């Protein structure tokens, strides 16, 4: 869960989408200004944080991409920021019940991952893989071969805060899975240098709506061949320098850009637990 001093405090201030600490059931709208999920997403996964002595907890999102592997954000497994409780829940529309729960057997963060800081405005190579202790029966989502051109309709999923804030103490997390229809943004619609081949700019047609605290690591998806959902992005953070989440675009790690690393890593670590 988020820490409060030194380097951790910098990360909390600058990364509105970092996993949060306070659990409180959401009410009407979420991601921020999203809505209850309209269908089943068997690939949707959540990574709960360890409950501490105050009873606080948090959550990150993830996507099942193989019967025994999920992909999430690097900062969702960064030990300087968070303490996952050691499990992953897959295929449920509820944050705390349903689906399949597996233990975390292995965590592999991209070797180039770097947490944002006073000199780096966004997380770099913000992607990680989690190996489950046993395969699940839920159907994985396909990795998209391309994120689509700017303007492509996409969808965000998450259990994050319903309240637009970068203050974990004010977050109000959703118990029911939330979705928000958005679009691929042009690089120029995010802050200078934020978006590019490795990082996708994401824009909501709905004002003041975007992924936020607790949605980190979760999926951005689009319709591919035959109308199937494909994974194009991993929730990373805000797409501009701003004090909260929903006042501008979001920034997503491009799954197509890291597809070769993802596949190589899974192949190399296929055996054993």
Residue at token pair 């992924």: 211
Q: Are strands 142-143 and 229-238 parallel, antiparallel or unpaired?
A: parallel
Helix (H) or strand (E) holding 51: none
From 66, 78, 126, 164, active-site residue: 126
Residue at token pair 């492509």: 152
CA angle 38, 39, 44 (to 5 degrees): 110
Nearest-Å Rg of the Cα atoms of the chain is 16
From 46, 75, 78, 110, active-site residue: 75
Quote the tokens at residue 198. Answer: 């490795």
How many Cα atoms are found within 13 Å in the side-chain-facing hemisphere of 65? Answer: 29
Residue at token pair 């319903």: 162
* Residues near 258 by beta carbon (within 8 Å), at least 6 away in sequence: 110, 125, 127, 198
Q: Which of 51, 55, 59, 262 is nearest to 176 (CA)?
A: 59
Q: Are strands 44-48 and 219-223 parallel, antiparallel or unpaired?
A: unpaired
From 63, 92, 216, 236, active-site residue: 216
24 flagged as catalytic: no
46 flagged as catalytic: no
Please check whether residue 233 is in contact with residue 200, taking contact to mean a CB–CB distance below 8 angstroms.
Answer: yes
Quote the tokens at residue 191. Answer: 């802050």
216 flagged as catalytic: yes
Q: Which of 92, 84, 91, 101 is nearest to 216 (CA)?
A: 84
Rounded-to-integer distance, Cα 156 and Cα 25, Å:
19
Catalytic (active-site) positions? 75, 126, 216
């Amino acid at each position: 869960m988020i820490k409060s001093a030194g380097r951790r405090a910098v990360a909390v201030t600058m990364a509105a989408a970092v996993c949060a600490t306070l659990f409180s059931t959401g009410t009407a709208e979420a991601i921020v200004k999203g809505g209850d999920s309209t269908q089943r997403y068997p690939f949707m996964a959540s990574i709960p944080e360890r409950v501490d002595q105050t009873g606080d907890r948090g959550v990150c999102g993830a996507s099942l991409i193989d019967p025994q592997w999920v992909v999430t954000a690097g900062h969702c497994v960064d030990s300087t920021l968070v303490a996952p409780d050691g499990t992953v829940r897959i295929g449920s529309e509820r944050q705390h019940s349903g689906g399949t729960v597996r233990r975390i057997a292995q965590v592999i963060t991209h070797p180039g991952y770097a947490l944002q800081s006073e000199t780096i405005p966004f997380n770099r190579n913000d992607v990680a893989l989690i190996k489950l202790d046993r395969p699940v029966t839920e159907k994985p989502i396909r990795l998209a071969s391309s994120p689509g051109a700017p303007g492509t309709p996409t969808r965000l999923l998450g259990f994050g805060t319903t309240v637009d804030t970068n203050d974990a103490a004010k977050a109000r997390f959703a118990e029911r899975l939330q979705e928000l229809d958005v679009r691929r943004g042009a690089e120029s619609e995010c802050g200078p240098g934020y978006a590019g081949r490795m990082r996708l700019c994401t824009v909501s047609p709905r004002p003041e709506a975007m992924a936020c605290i607790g949605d980190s690591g979760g999926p951005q998806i689009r319709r591919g061949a035959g109308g199937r959902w494909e994974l194009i992005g991993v929730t990373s953070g805000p797409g501009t320098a701003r004090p909260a989440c929903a006042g501008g675009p979001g920034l997503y790690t491009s799954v197509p850009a890291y597809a070769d690393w993802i596949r190589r890593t899974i192949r190399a670590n296929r055996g054993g637990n």
